[in-house]
Amino acid sequence: MTSPTCWTEPQRILVILAHPDDPEFFCGATLAKWAREGHTIQYLLLTCGDKGFNPATMPDMTPDKLCGIRHAEQAEAAKVIGAAPPLFLDLPDGYLIPDLNLRRDVVREIRKHRPDILVTCDPQNLFALYGINHPDHRACGQIVLDAVFPAAGNPAYFPDLLAQGYEPHMPKEVWCSLTNQANTVLDVTEYWDVKIQAVLKHKSQAQDADKLTERLKSRRTEDSTDENPRYEEKFRVVKYS
């Protein structure tokens, strides 16, 4: 695996993931690093995570109520990272399917925001640290990659979008987080505490803040120690320029 060279100019970075808190959990330290280097970061979340609660422990919660809460939590977390206020498609949590309609929607957003760098997650990652990877994560990655190629930069795809003024656009790089096929690794030790602070803004999902903080701090590299920890975030990067 390699560490990429720094970009010489500020980049427009679009992060397309499934749920609130995915940006922070998957690659929050990297995003914090990029924000502090002067790059512009915009989140686009496909759902609002409205099913992310346990009725046994949150008996008064409803999906509609949680959706509003998670919008607010994600906005606070984005501030910590240094990203712009997040955008949402507000599709139903848990039901993402990589069909043509959603592919068109994502192509529209890519053409609208015209990112230099696009961040999503690896659709081939069936298993994660916590067990089976959420199907929305895998569907989101598939949707985004299918939107990038061959559709986003080709005017022959989705001509209705062209008629609406969404000109073709191709990102220069696609960074897939939550991957077991990494080809790029970043040392993000300096920004790990920022990642933790951002994750903790998702209070509806992080009800035991101390336990979650301990878990995140334990994810140090094997060649470091508790006294001198080092942290990395890994990606599968595809470059088109």
150 preceded by a cis bond (ω within 30 of 0)? yes
Q: What is the pLDDT of residues 6-52, one digit of tens each?
A: 799 999 999 999 999 999 999 999 999 999 999 999 999 999 999 99
The pLDDT confidence band at residue 59, using thresholds 50, 70 and 90, is: confident
**94 vs 49: CA distance, rounded Å:** 8
The pLDDT confidence band at residue 128, using thresholds 50, 70 and 90, is: confident
The pLDDT confidence band at residue 4, using thresholds 50, 70 and 90, is: low
User: What are the φ and ψ backbone dihedral angles of 140, each rounded to 5 degrees?
Assistant: -60, -50
**101: Cβ contacts below 8 Å, ≥ 6 apart:** none
The pLDDT confidence band at residue 56, using thresholds 50, 70 and 90, is: confident
Residue 5: its pLDDT value, please? 52
Residue 196: its pLDDT value, please? 98
Name the CA radius of gyration of the chain, rounded.
Answer: 18
**222: Cβ contacts below 8 Å, ≥ 6 apart:** none
CA atoms within 13 A on the CB side of 216: 25
User: Is-above-0.75 flag for pTM?
Assistant: yes
Q: What is the pLDDT of residues 66-118, one digit of tens each?
A: 999 999 999 999 999 999 999 999 999 999 999 999 999 999 999 999 999 99
User: What are the φ and ψ backbone dihedral angles of 65, each rounded to 5 degrees?
Assistant: -65, -45
Q: What is the mean pLDDT of residues 191-216?
A: 95
| Domains observed in the chain | 12-239 (3.40.50.10320)
User: What are the φ and ψ backbone dihedral angles of 131, each rounded to 5 degrees?
Assistant: 125, -130
Kindly tell me if the per-residue pLDDT of 3 is higher than 70.
no
Q: What is the mean pLDDT of residues 235-241?
A: 94
**236 vs 227: CA distance, rounded Å:** 30
19, amino acid identity? H
- Tokens (6 digits) for 102: 């959603």
Q: What is the pLDDT of residues 139-186, one digit of tens each?
A: 999 999 999 999 999 999 999 999 999 999 999 999 999 999 999 999
